[in-house]
Every structure is written in structure tokens, then in C-alpha cells.
Chains A and B, each alone.
Chain A
Amino acid sequence: MSPLLYLAQRGTAAILALTVLVHLGTILYAVRGGLTAGEILGRTQGNVGVLLFYAVFVLAAAIHAPIGLRSVLREWTGWRGRSLDLAMIGLSALLAGLGLRAALAVYWA
């Protein structure tokens, strides 16, 4: 792992530590309050703060997970080289694409 990938993984880990907590807290709050899906969407719709929060969350996860998975695959399967790097870039793009799509979906719902 290059030093920049290492720093990117540690930096995104710090972001994820916070965003996962906020995300879980929000879920607990919504469930305990008995909000319906419609009421939740009513709060997220057009809310730029929610959109920005989940965009940061998704992008951090899309950077963090493939770097870690790359190390796991290198150590446990022996898969190395450019094919692995390209596969991880693809995974990162997939996570970012699906995650941002979900974030935009609740923003525009």
C-alpha cells in the first residue's frame, strides 16, 4: 500500500467513525419516534444538509473499503498486480455510484 493510500484509508476511517455514529443515531431516533417512510422522506426531501452528509459518508466508504479489501485479497488470496488495482477502482466507483444514487433519491424523492 502506498503512503497516500494509507493516509486516505486512515483519513476516511476518521470520517466514517463519525458518520456511522450519526447515521445509526438517526435510524434509532427515526424508529423510536415511530416515523413512517413517508414522514422520513418528507424530512430528507430538499434537505441539502442530509444530502451533503450522505455524500461525504458514501465517498468516504467508497475510498475506505476498497483499500482495505485490496490488502485482505493480497494477503489471503495472493491476487496481486494491476488487475487487482483495477478491480478495486471498479468497486470504489460502484460503491460511490450506488451510494450517491441513494442519497440523491431521498433528496429528490
Chain B
Amino acid sequence: MTAPVDPAAAAKGAAKGATGALRVRVRRGDGVQDYAVPRRANQTVLDVVTEIQREQDPTLAYRFACRVGMCGSCGMTVNGRPRWTCRTRVAAVAPDGDLLLEPLRNLPVVKDLAVDMEPFFEKWRRAHGYFEPGENPPDDFVAVPPDSPERQEVDAGIECINCGVCYSACDLVSWNPDYLGPAALNRAWTLVNDVRDRGQAARLDAVAGDAGCHSCHSHMSCTEHCPKALSPTFAIAGLKRETGKAALRRFWRRG
């Protein structure tokens, strides 16, 4: 399937400073559809998708919101790598002008480039990726020194905005669909280091086992692709240590 460049649209593009055309292939269901999009200075991949949807093919489905790298909703696979399309310049990833756009890997496709994030968020819940205040709230605020080791560990992973890029990059999720994934485990690690949290034993149980941190092969694809430059791999290594210590403590008590 090929959608030829509309001469009127191309002329309009030229008037706006377009320089040549990009060959854009978009995975739509089982097939790949070709588009030609005018190339522009400082164009992002999200600009390209939006131009296709608005000027050439209104049936193309994709997702975005903020356009400035804050919301994490425009994640797609660009030339084989998961990325935020709003923060990816075409010139940086397609110097030859060829773009292959696919939905994020490891998530069910709703339509075209839009994926269903529900399994991703469900795994956050399964990893106890939420704050547990305990039965009795403390009488006073807890003082957390910014330079304490626990707070430093939290700081290293707290900026995650749940975009799903690491989840899409993770081979383990492809091989083991039950695997909780880097984002959920990274979130769990920030909470393990939250001195106010009262749900640590249950959380460490939740992130251990065949679906949990010990299945990680430390390929570091999550760390390589995280648009926020976080390192879920190190968070997972921390969980391996803490779950290991907890298991040994239980083992000695039983024995």
C-alpha cells in the first residue's frame, strides 16, 4: 500500500521550507504502509506521524499528548528502537530519509501505532508499585535527609514517567510474558528505599520469583533506551540483593 504525495500538500510543504521527501513506512496491523512526507528542518518523528494523519491519512491511529517529553505517551518503535517520538529528530535517526514506524513491542496493539498500556500498569500493581502507609499513620512527618543513602537510591529512579519504552526494549518480557518488567521493578525499588513505607515484606515477595527481578539477564536494554537516562538495571540489581537477604533471613529463622 502506498499513499503518494499529494501535489498540493507537497507544494505547500515546499513553501514552508521542505527539503526533499522522507520515505516513511508505518506498520499497520499485519502490513506496512508507505508514505512520502516532506522533509523539514528540526522535524521530529512525531511531527512526521502527525503530518501523515492530518494531511494524508486520517485513519492512522497513534497516541500523543504533551509533545515536549513530559507525558511519555508518544512512545513508538522507530527504525527498530523504542523511543519518544516527540524527542526524536528525524535527522538524528534517519539521515538517509528512511523511517520505519512500529508500535511499542511487548504490548497489545489497539490500532496501528497505539498500544494498550493496561498490561504494563497491571504489572506496576503486581510489583506493589504504590506507597503503603501502613495501618497507623505516624504522628509526625518523617525526616528524610536528601543525602541519605536511601533517598539517593530513590532519586536515581524516581523520575520515571511510565512511558513503557524500557518495557518495549526488554527481551525478557518477550520471552517471559509474566515478567514484571524494568519500569515496575524500578518503581518497586524506589519504594523499597522509602523509609516511610510499611509494605516492604509483601513488596519484596511480589518482586521475587519467576516473574520478578531474578529473571533479569542484565542485558541493560532498559538502561540503554530509557529516554530519562534512568537505570532500571541497577534498581533490579538492588532488588536482587534485598530479596536475597530477606530470603536468607527467612531461611535461617526456619532452620
Query: How would residues 27 to 38 of chain B score, 1 for a CB under 8 Å from any chain A CB and 0 otherwise?
Result: 000000000000
Q: Which A residues from 1 to 50 make CB contacts under 8 A with B?
A: 1-7
Is B214 within 8 A of A1, CB to CB? yes
Is B247 within 8 A of A4, CB to CB? yes
Query: How would residues 53 to 78 of chain A score, 1 for a CB under 8 Å from any chain B CB and 0 otherwise?
Result: 00000000000000000010011100
Is A6 within 8 A of B240, CB to CB? yes
Interface size on B, residues (CB 8 A): 15
Supply 20 further A-B pairs (C-beta < 8 A) apart from A1-B214, A6-B244, A75-B175.
Answer: A1-B209, A1-B210, A1-B215, A2-B208, A2-B214, A2-B247, A3-B208, A3-B240, A3-B246, A3-B247, A3-B248, A4-B248, A5-B214, A6-B214, A6-B240, A7-B244, A74-B210, A75-B172, A75-B176, A76-B175
Interface size on A, residues (CB 8 A): 11
Query: How would residues 135 to 168 of chain B score, 1 for a CB under 8 Å from any chain A CB and 0 otherwise?
Result: 0000000000000000000000000000000000
CB closest chain-B residue, reference A72: B175
Instruction: Give the residues in chain B near A2, CB-CB below 8 Å.
Output: 208-209, 214, 247
Is B176 within 8 A of A3, CB to CB? no
Chain A residues proximal to chain B, CB less than 8 Å: 1-7, 71, 74-76
From DSSP, what is the main secondary structure of chain A's interface residues?
A: helix
From DSSP, what is the main secondary structure of chain B's interface residues?
A: helix
Instruction: Give the residues in chain A near B176, CB-CB below 8 Å.
Output: 74-75
Instruction: Give the residues in chain A near B215, CB-CB below 8 Å.
Output: 1, 71
CB closest chain-B residue, reference A75: B175
Is A3 within 8 A of B175, CB to CB? no
Instruction: Give the residues in chain A near B231, CB-CB below 8 Å.
Output: none
CB closest chain-A residue, reference B174: A75
